[in-house]
Amino acid sequence: MTTRIDQRFADLKKEGRAALVTFVTAGDPDYATSLEIIKGLPKAGADIIEFGMPFTDPMADGPAIQEAGLRALHAGQTLIKTLDLVRDFRKSDDRTPVVLMGYYNPIYIHGVERFLKDAKAAGVDGLIIVDLPPEEDDELCLPAIKAGLNFIRLATPTTDDKRAPTVLRNTSGFVYYVSVLGITGTKAPDLKSVEQNVTRLKGHTKLPIAVGFGVKTAEQARSIAKSADGVVVGSALVNAVKTSLKAGKATPETAKAVHRLVSEIAQGVRS
């Protein structure tokens, strides 16, 4: 079964360019503004959208995404509302792939079978669950694949040739290569190391490889797009939300600030 993610990467391969994958926290700074941001991402240049599922203990995320998660939670965002957000987005966009990114705890509480059914019905295409290792594939990965969702795995600079086959075994959609060690958005990627590791991982998989963590500028995106099949931008967009707020609330500038930055980075990916 071909998913929207598979189709998008196949289309971009024909175009001869990398994908721009954009991450925003669902419900940040509030539901209505979050929907406005997400609806404008494809026009601004996003090829795939990751919705971050707010969680109280986001261990892999840096300060920017942690703060975004707290803003969303304080505004009343829940897992059910995140699925509602996908559903509302799908009313006007049936083509752009949507990935939910986050942690297993909210899914476990919702119930795996119920979650997969609800996610598929809402229009979700893939999952990135950062705290479920491949040794736990029976828990969510295999049921997700059976339900018709891509399960996207993270590979890191420490995913050596011995570990890579285990990590990639049940991965689908694309591989998310974490370009730096540590949490999101705190360091700039070492572009030479990224190129070497992407090339090495391509020896283990035919899946597209998208590179994220620390990408902030069009120039970085341009450099990464030379060797990778996709570039992921997250913390920079979440920071654009934060700097647009007044007293913690959305302003008319909030969605525009995110869309402007996506347009800039998209030009880097496309050049």
pLDDT digits (tens, 9 = 90+) for 191-227: 888 999 999 999 999 999 999 988 899 999 999 999 9
Q: Is 10 left (phi over 0), alpha (psi -120 to 50) or beta?
A: alpha
DSSP H or E stretch at residue 243: helix 235-244
Q: Does 260 have pLDDT greater than 70?
A: yes
Amino acid at 74: H
Average pLDDT, the chain: 94
User: For residue range 26-46, what is the model confidence (pLDDT) as tens digits?
Assistant: 999 999 999 999 999 999 999
Neighbours of 192 (CB within 10 A): 9
Amino acid at 81: K
User: What is residue 249's DSSP assignment?
Assistant: B
Residue 18: both structure tokens together: 């990398």
Q: Is 50 a catalytic residue?
A: yes
CATH topology of domain 4-270: TIM Barrel (3.20.20)
Residue 226: both structure tokens together: 């030379």
Q: Does 184 have pLDDT greater than 70?
A: no
pLDDT at position 180 is 76
Q: What angle do CA 91, 93, 94 make, to 5 degrees?
A: 95
Q: Is 88 a catalytic residue?
A: no
How far is residue 199 from each of residues 7, 179, 188, 261, measured CA to CA in Å? 23, 13, 19, 28
In the set 28, 50, 84, 137, the catalytic residue is 50
In the set 6, 47, 61, 229, the catalytic residue is 61
- How many angstroms separate the CA atoms of 58 and 56, rounded? 6
Give the pLDDT band of residue 59 (cuts 50, 70, 90): confident
